[in-house]
Structure 1
């Protein structure tokens, strides 16, 4: 298996910018990648060229959304590694800076294909806006008092702090920007400053002067660089900052929010699983449940918001320990989006777990620190952040008790058996949970649903009313 650690590395990787339809190369600025400190160089930032001024309509403001969908669908046909030299180049650079191995990075390139079909795009817009017409023009309505108004989901001016934990994020972010027709500035992530431009170059080969491309700039600067952000994060240029990232990145973004400049934040989240007593009906059922739990816990080696880190199990100590032993076995398995041996747990986890080994039987530990997986059974939630395939299992007497461990920072909860989701979903929602799924299905999702408690595209646009009341 090829891993990041063994991949050959260039001395300095050249990262181009893409500014309003034009590819720009340069070696004016040098940075380091997030995970391994690999150097890469970029062109100089030319602020004035990054976006159309407010005195000008954006290039795609009046392009019918049907035409934009046509463009995205055509682009999707070329977004496969086998026939796209830009994605192939992006892959070779990404393996030099990513904590994920080549095999998993390759698999991520295939994920957005199912969401970039015509049916999927139209369905999502219909679920978000009710009608595609509101994106294309002013839709007249008459209220119960007879007053007439016209409403439009007007194209926005957005800065995107892009997610960097999966190359597929680049493809979905570009699609979101295109569908809302706005003026968009992408701040590419240091964990993957390559895929965004690779996708935009693909689009440029299809239609080099397309209004969507003239509406987009994709560039890199070091996150938190006030010399750049004090200039760009202003209401005179943009309406909203769409921010993905860890706690420090979101805190930095929040300080720029103010009148006329909104923050749409996709905060760092923690996910969990809840397993009912039905798992212990037979040894075969328990093995199946352990496999489903491992599927959810190991997504991107647990480097994803929707990867479960805590599992509440309805059962006595002996039953829960049987589950823990089986779960530990299934953590150390190669999967499409996980390694059998991933990155090893850090010092904080090692120190905490070593201390727990002396607290048996109240606490119990399965596994070592070799990256194949670690399970910690505790009477309550541990006070460290489980990561690198470390799972905290908590026994509960009743499934409803598990809701007390959920907070507003809990994104996804996988439940077994699925028939009992209705039993606890209101309690979980009250605690702040945003998504409830079948155990083993965290990486899957129905089209057109909300994300992080919102319909993102609904938040991206500017809702403007022409009112005759």
Structure 2
């Protein structure tokens, strides 16, 4: 991510002060070295600092030199930058995002459920645009249970078609699954969750309606969220919402898409296309290069 921001800064003609992340492992420096081999004149526009995040004084001195500060990370990282950023500096924040599937009827049930299952398995739910939770447009918990029984074979089929790459991923998936179950038991939430186990996948029918990060690698919670309650529930995660994979009857698609937009979603796609991207598409509802420039009007 630091190198991506650096490239955007270079494209917009900025001088870039690059703070190396803690776990960079030399990747950013090597990428910059390759850039300079191709175009040595870029050296005047790139300055790299291996400054720890705990050295607030040095970070404040660097921030004072800048017209804009770009940060990638979670809430804690972004909040830390806000604390030392000088007044007048533009903050360009890229944080973690949550995406989900919303189901309210079907256009082609088998095709749409198969596409959603393949999306979940192929992305391993590791992307900001990956489905982390499946919401059903219902108040009836029995419909949630019925959906899990119906959808689990699709998820198993996708798991067989797109198997894990090695024993490391299988081990990580197993550890995550049992860790989640231990946490639920310790916190007393096990009684609120009905688990549907499949081959290298799992669904959890949950009583709550919170949008949460899934257990990844084919582990997905399924929850109730009637369209009438969509706004207050999803606005709890305002600023973190990205993609909604919408499955519904054709005549309801426009109304539900408009409701999702009001909740703060910036991408609404078919469920199987949640992680597909187009050339020139916005990033988290923004065109990044516009944030790296300012408009100056000069009268002749």
What is the TM-score when the length of structure 1 is the normalising length? 0.53
2:31: which partner in 1? 199
Q: How does 1:372-391 map to 2 (within 5 A)?
A: 372-382=200-210, 385-389=213-217, 390-391=219-220
Compare CA radii of gyration and give the structure with the larger one.
Answer: 1
The one of 263, 288, 302 equivalent to 2:125 is 302
Give RMSD over aligned pairs: 3.4
Aligned partners of 1:196 and 1:218 also within 8 Å = no
2:191: which partner in 1? 358
The offset of 1:387, in angstroms, is 3.8
Question: What is the CA deviation profile of residues 332-387 of structure 1, one whole-angstrom value per residue up to 9, with x for unaligned ones?
Answer: 85368x9455353289733443344434xxx311249x9x4442111332586434
2:154 and 2:63 map into 1 onto residues whose CA distance is 46
The offset of 1:180, in angstroms, is 0.4
When residues 184 and 446 of structure 1 are mapped into structure 2, their CA distance, relative to the original with a 3 A threshold, is same
2:127 and 2:253 map into 1 onto residues whose CA distance is 23
The one of 232, 243, 267 equivalent to 1:412 is 243
1:218: which partner in 2? 48
The offset of 1:442, in angstroms, is 2.7
By relative contact order (CA 8 Å, sep 6+), the higher-ranking structure is 2
Aligned partners of 2:72 and 2:93 also within 8 Å = yes
1:418 and 1:266 map into 2 onto residues whose CA distance is 34
| Matched positions, count | 284
1:335 and 1:214 map into 2 onto residues whose CA distance is 45
Aligned partners of 1:280 and 1:319 also within 8 Å = no
1:437 and 1:335 map into 2 onto residues whose CA distance is 26
- Runs (4 or more) in structure 1 with deviation over 6 Å come to none
Question: What is the CA deviation profile of residues 207-247 of structure 1, one whole-angstrom value per residue up to 9, with x for unaligned ones?
Answer: 3x32x33201234332343132122111xx11011111011
1:288 equivalent to 2:125? Answer no
What is the TM-score when the length of structure 2 is the normalising length? 0.78
1:180: which partner in 2? 12
1:418 and 1:186 map into 2 onto residues whose CA distance is 48
2:21: which partner in 1? 189
Aligned partners of 2:243 and 2:265 also within 8 Å = yes
List gaps (5 residues or longer) in structure 2.
Answer: none
1:439: which partner in 2? 271
Aligned partners of 2:99 and 2:133 also within 8 Å = yes
1:232 equivalent to 2:232? Answer no
Aligned partners of 1:418 and 1:438 also within 8 Å = no
